[in-house]
Amino acid sequence: MPNYNSYGAKELGHTRCGRVIFHWGKRTYIMGIINLSPDSFSGDGLGNNIKTAITKVKQFVAEEADIIDVGGESTRPGSAPIPLDEELNRVIPILEKLAKETPLPLSIDTYKLEVARQALDAGANMINDIWGLKREPRLAKLAAQKKVPLILMSNQRDVSPRHDTTFPDIISVVIADLQRAIEQALTMGVPLENIIIDPGLGFGKTQEQNLEIIRRLEELKVLGRPILLASSRKSIIGRVLDLPPEQRLEGTMATIAIGIAKGADIVRVHDVKQTARVCKMSDAIIRG
């Protein structure tokens, strides 16, 4: 395994995604969420309504998003996987349309190889794998062949540590899981500069563990890759504030500001306009 300790926050370099280059460490980048599942936990699912999706993406562009993440299957706790054809029918027509109408790079949120393959052919520029290659290791080979960035998320839903006393330190669990995923991706030919990591808030972790991940986010810097923080409207906020998803804006902004202070390089959000303001202010303080 490579010595990830040799990479520091100031040495992350850059990642090309479509026509855009992310210069890590310069500022915080914003990923706007387009949910095409009608049963999204956050209440913003669009189904396969192309017109509504295009309108929302145009709004995100105006509000200074840097990349759009398109997903067709809900990942809320307890949700059931949808058939391959259904996911393809949701995401491919919209990706084809977005590729022609938006200047922003597009990410496909999927862990299914065929969805990722067709999405890249339709115009997507990045793969966002919520299983960190556990479900489909060949996603790394596809990312290498297509020369696109790959987001690797740490997901504990398969070995949830919440009831396992052998996992008292969630940060150690997440780092080990992401190291495994990084090594897999590198072995498959993905360049280090094309790998982004996500600690996976939620996804088999307890409320206390989720809060601890944000509190100790900077420890993930040992992996030497840009950190994506996806806290937007999640239950970690709802449990603290006792509010439904559509009322978790302020809580989300708090996690983003603290996340940036702790080393987040990109944030995945539903509310781009407010996030852009928080990122600008936080970057002015943290990055100078």
The total number of structural domains that make up the chain = 1
pLDDT tens column, 104-141: 999 999 999 999 999 999 999 999 999 999 999 999 99
Least confident among 4-18, 59-73, 164-178, 214-228: 4-18
Among residues 238, 213, 147, 143, which one has the least CA distance to residue 185?
143
- Percent of residues in the chain assigned helix, strand, coil, to nearest 5: 45, 15, 40
**What is the residue range of 74's domain?**
4-286
CA distances from 46 to 36, 43, 50, 127, 228 (A): 5, 9, 9, 20, 24
pLDDT, tens digit, 9 for 90 and up, residues 143-195? 999 999 999 999 999 875 555 544 579 999 999 999 999 999 999 999 999 99
Residue 208 confidence (pLDDT):
95
The catalytic residues are 234, 268
Q: What percent of the chain has pLDDT over 70?
A: 90
| CB-count exposure of residue 106 (10 Å: 0-12, 13-18, 19+) | buried
Tell me what pLDDT residue 75 has: 80
Sheet with 195-198: list strands edge to edge: 195-198, 150-153, 126-129, 106-109, 67-71, 29-35, 266-269, 228-229
The per-residue pLDDT for range 187-223, each reduced to its tens digit, is 999 999 999 999 999 999 999 999 999 999 999 999 9
Q: What is the pLDDT of residue 5?
A: 43
- Dihedral of the alpha carbons of 277, 279, 285, 288, in degrees to the nearest 10: -110
Longest dimension (CA), the chain: 51
Burial class (CB in 10 A: 0-12, 13-18, 19+), 193: middle
Strand ranges in 96-216 using DSSP code E only, listed in sequence order? 106-109, 126-129, 150-153, 195-198
CA 34 to chain CA centroid, nearest Å:
12
The pLDDT value recorded for residue 42 is 46
Q: What is the pLDDT of residue 115?
A: 98
Q: What pLDDT is attached to residue 62?
A: 97
User: Do the Cβ atoms of 154 and 170 come closer than 8 Å?
Assistant: no
> Poorest-confidence range of 16-25, 38-47, 73-82?
38-47
Give pLDDT, residue 159: 76
Contacts of 7 (CB under 8 A, 6+ apart): 192, 223, 224, 225
Average pLDDT, the chain: 91
Residue 185, Cβ neighbours under 10 Å: how many?
25
CATH number of the domain within which 13 lies: 3.20.20.20
- Over range 241-269, report the average pLDDT: 97
Which position has the higher pLDDT, 288 or 271? 271
